[in-house]
Structure 1
Amino acid sequence: MWVAATVTLIAFGVAGCGAGDAGTGAASPRPEGTGPITKEVVRADIDTSLADVGLPTKEPEYVRLFENAAAGSPQSCSVDAKAFGSETAPVDIARYEALVGELRERAWQQSGERTEDKGRDGEALRAARVVLKQRGWSMRAEYRSSKSSGIVTVLALDDACMKQNGASMGSIG
């Protein structure tokens, strides 16, 4: 029985911490079961969710900071994306909410309440964030308004990798 479980884990891959685990953006099959999902699956969930709501899938300089992280560093335990709004693809709260909906369709479950920051007037929404969890990963999806448009940041952390490296989960954990 243990041999079958080990073979299954090897076949699907376990969520790892090394720089070699960095996703390529290609969709990988979602493993069935209850074990951890891989970094590649998390990357595919983020990229396809952003694409499905019409946002760019990666901000290259930002993502490169994490994909080229040294093995064993907290950054090596993460999958990240940032999308800036533009005239042709504005980022607003509606698009952010659609993104969170897409992530939920991919089995990410919200943990706790959505938090919001209001402007000085107490009415204008400056930021919103939710924490989502799935099979060994914790994710924060955040929207921030700006004068020209908005910004969406998604940060997913491999819970076991973060613990193994003694890193704080911050507001996500």
Structure 2
Amino acid sequence: MRGGTAVRAAVVMAVVLGAAGCDTGDGGTSAAPSVTVRAEDLGPVTKASAQAEIDAAAADAGAPAGDPDWAKMTASRCGAGYRGYGTEGEKVDPGRYEAVVGELRERGWQPSGEAPERKDENGTVQIAQKVFTKRGWTLTAEFQGFETGLISVSAADKACIDEIRDRVPLPVQSAPSAGGTEGQ
């Protein structure tokens, strides 16, 4: 399994979002439109338009083809995503990741944060992560330089996620009492 903890976290998110049942905004289909969506589009971001932008950004940046098994697994109603693995013949590097990030910016995704890059003992970037927003959606782009490298992009509709939270109440834990006055 590549990426260890990151992969497990992504799988958990995909399962939760996939089972959630939010409206997709695209009639329930998962096929991406054939038109490349650009930043000039000021309409609402839908699952289909987010997926089209992600796919087009990866393709225009020359990133590896998306993993179809990953696409099926992450085909949630609240989100869209891409995962491309390098090969022994053509490894994915931080430059390719930055090209994908640049393409996302061209499509109107606004930077909203990033994690510090993690580098190996030689100073080579091994992990990079940036977060973007666009009209109610949050997108995370990640690079992992281990083995042959991978680029992962995941986007989620905040309103859809909030709807899930409203429908699936989380248990509230009460704080332990201070001073040990229980039972007095």
Structure 1: 4+ residue segments shifted above 3 A: 15-23, 27-33
CA drift of 1:107 comes to: 0.5
Question: Unaligned 5+ residue runs, structure 2?
Answer: 1-21, 167-184
Structure 2 CA distance for aligned equivalents of residues 42 and 60 of structure 1? 17
**SS at 1:166's partner residue?**
helix
Structure 2 CA distance for aligned equivalents of residues 166 and 55 of structure 1? 34
Distance 1:134 1:57, change over 3 A: farther
TM-score, with length taken from structure 1: 0.72
Amino acid at match of 2:119: K
Aligned residue-pair number: 143
Which residue of 1 is the match for residue 33 of structure 2?
Answer: 26
Which residue of 1 is the match for residue 101 of structure 2?
Answer: 100
Structure 2 CA distance for aligned equivalents of residues 90 and 122 of structure 1? 18
Cα RMSD after superposing both structures:
2.6
**SS at 2:74's partner residue?**
helix
Structure 1 CA distance for aligned equivalents of residues 44 and 52 of structure 2? 15
CA drift of 1:117 comes to: 1.6
Percent identity reads 36
Distance 1:22 1:110, change over 3 A: farther
Q: Is the 8 A contact 1:78 1:156 kept in 2?
A: yes
Q: Is the 8 A contact 1:77 1:162 kept in 2?
A: yes
Distance 1:18 1:38, change over 3 A: closer
Question: Unaligned 5+ residue runs, structure 1?
Answer: 1-14, 68-74, 168-173
TM-score, with length taken from structure 2: 0.68
Q: Is the 8 A contact 1:96 1:152 kept in 2?
A: yes
**SS at 1:115's partner residue?**
strand
Which residue of 2 is the match for residue 56 of structure 1?
Answer: 64
Deviations 1:97-141 (A, max 9, x none): 00000000000111024531223x272321001001101110000
* 1:151-162 alignment, distance < 5 Å: 151-162=150-161
* 1:1-16 alignment, distance < 5 Å: 16=23
Amino acid at match of 2:112: S
Distance 1:105 1:42, change over 3 A: same
Which residue of 2 is the match for residue 45 of structure 1?
Answer: 53
Distance 1:122 1:166, change over 3 A: farther
Larger radius of gyration: 2
**SS at 1:112's partner residue?**
strand
Amino acid at match of 2:151: V
Structure 2 CA distance for aligned equivalents of residues 88 and 156 of structure 1? 29
Which residue of 1 is the match for residue 80 of structure 2?
Answer: 79
Q: Is the 8 A contact 1:48 1:57 kept in 2?
A: no
CA drift of 1:89 comes to: 3.8
